[in-house]
Amino acid sequence: MSTYANGRRLFDADSHLMESVDWLTAYATEAQAGLVKPLITEKGGANIRAAIGAAEARRQDVDRTRELLAQPIISGPKGWGAYGAMDPAERSLALDLLGFEYQLIFPTFAIGQFAASNDPEVVYAGTDMLNRRMADFCRADKRLLPVGYVPLRDPERSVAVVEAAVADGIRAFWVSSEPVQDRSPSHLSHDPVWAALERHQVPVILHIGSGRGLDSRFHNAGHTKVKDWLGGGENLRGKDFPAIAHSVQNFVTAMIYDQVFERFPELMCGIIELGATWVPGFLRTLDQGHMAFRKSEPLLNGLSAKPSEIFRRHVRVSLFPYEDAGWLIEQAGPEVFMFASDWPHPEGGRDPLGRFEQTLEDARTPADARDGFYFRNFASLLNVTV
């Protein structure tokens, strides 16, 4: 069968399912009923309810489904209209057609339904619903690796979250990159959570939406407010883009400088859909900070290696399709970066493989480094067999 991968081994570090209005709340137990509200569709852009309805109707229509499958999966309809966006069985066939050997599966909107609540019961109920729902979506196909969520608000409860979710099939955990109440993510009280992740060989994941973006006041420049590039109200605008990785840089700095990766040498961290062009300069900045302050800060002085080396051991970063994979590998090393499609979100473009391959050709990237980008670095993050 002809596939989009066309013989190239591809492990996809970023893909999504698309939720219906009650996708999350349908998994509420009797005790959780009413704690989490259904998806508020207006926040995702215009006409979402219509898009969900059209996608659900298409799934019941054999002729329309056949027409959809006649189009290339990767460059065909996006969002709810994509084949496999909402249905697990369709997703497996979509993966056959794409030719991806593994695909990391994220939710799209569901975490926003509960994670920012001030009520810990809402947060932990929503977390439990999400993790069970994600595990069920991916359960029938071992190629689909579900990403769950773990809050750090109550470390004891969070360890229980990890244990239950891993037992149910969750393969990675999305966390917030922001401080938790008055604590850094690297606070010693979170060590039991990192220990649980390390013990089960599942990574911590930072994804776009993990932390605060650009202060909204920067958009108030006296001009007419522009819509985001997707036409809605809650996505990115131009000034947001350079700032999207600031929060995760703070997170990773804390995790390295405060010796979290020293205490948990097998813990891995994935940075997904937050760009990668910032990485080479950030690695130099990490090392410069270490050099400048290690004499006065015992934790910095006690690091076993340069911060950039610790980063390369523990952190993997996905690219946007328009970033220069060849140049990034030259600048930061072959062990860091990963292929990602972001499918079925439109940000992934219509031919991510073609765009990445062109930059690798232009840079004359060696074959082993290409393999790292396309599948080996993913395998080291997710602990899957190559």
Q: How far does CA 151 lie from the centroid of its chain?
A: 15
Q: What is the pLDDT of residue 266?
A: 99
Considering only the C-alpha atoms of the chain, give the largest distance between any 2 of them, rounded to a whole number of Å.
Answer: 70
DSSP 265-304: TT--EEEESS-STTHHHHHHHHHHHHHHHTTT-HHHHT-S
Distances in Å between the Cα of 145 and the Cα atoms of 54, 105, 107, 142 are 27, 6, 12, 7
State pLDDT tens for residues 306-323.
999 999 999 999 999 999
If pLDDT is split at 50, 70 and 90, which confidence band does 227 have?
confident
Question: Rounded to an integer, what distance in angstroms lies between the CA atom of residue 21 and that of residue 48?
Answer: 10
Q: Which residue, 36, 12, 10, 6, is CA-closest to 348?
A: 12
Q: What is the pLDDT of residue 232?
A: 46
Which residues touch 62 (CB under 8 Å, ≥6 apart)? none
Q: Report strand pairing: 172-174 vs 337-338.
A: unpaired
**DSSP H helical ranges for 201-344:** 246-257, 260-263, 279-293, 298-301, 307-314, 325-332
Domain positions in the chain:
11-216+227-382
For domain 11-216+227-382, the CATH class is alpha beta
CB 12 within 8 A of CB 340: yes
State pLDDT tens for residues 241-293.
899 999 999 999 999 999 999 999 999 999 999 999 999 999 999 999 999 99
| Coil vs helix vs strand at 249 | helix
pTM confidence score: 0.96
Q: Tell me the mean pLDDT in the region 82-92.
A: 98
Q: What is the pLDDT of residue 233?
A: 46
Q: Which residue, 149, 81, 83, is CA-closest to 110?
A: 149
State pLDDT tens for residues 124-147.
999 999 999 999 999 999 999 999
- Give the chain's count of helices (H) and strands (E): 15, 8
